[in-house]
Amino acid sequence: MLYQEISVLELKERLSQDLTGVQLVDVREPEELEESQLEGFLNLPLSQYQAWSQELATLLDPQKETLVLCHHGIRSADMCSFLISRGFVDVKNIRGGIHAYALYADSKVPQY
């Protein structure tokens, strides 16, 4: 099963709505979050996989819609594939990542 993708404009619309039942995951590094981040995202850096992977079942619900963000959409795509391999049923990659979000959805979000 492949993951789906959403555009940054779709993400902006979703963030303005009630997100009950939606999980937001940012797989960038902590130092990247210092540069730019969106509110409400759980940070699970891919480089720290060993630290959080054993707790995945308590951190995230595989039955909930899960939106995954990174800088350009590559690492988040890897995370989407990983989550699906772990039984997650509704996973979406945010196409273009926070870079595209800053360019096309919200110019107040810092670019780096």
- Write the Ramachandran bin of 21: left for phi over 0, alpha for psi from -120 to 50, otherwise beta: left
Q: Look up residue 3 and give its DSSP letter.
A: P
Catalytically annotated residue among 25, 70, 79, 100: 70
- 70 tagged catalytic: yes
Known catalytic residues? 70
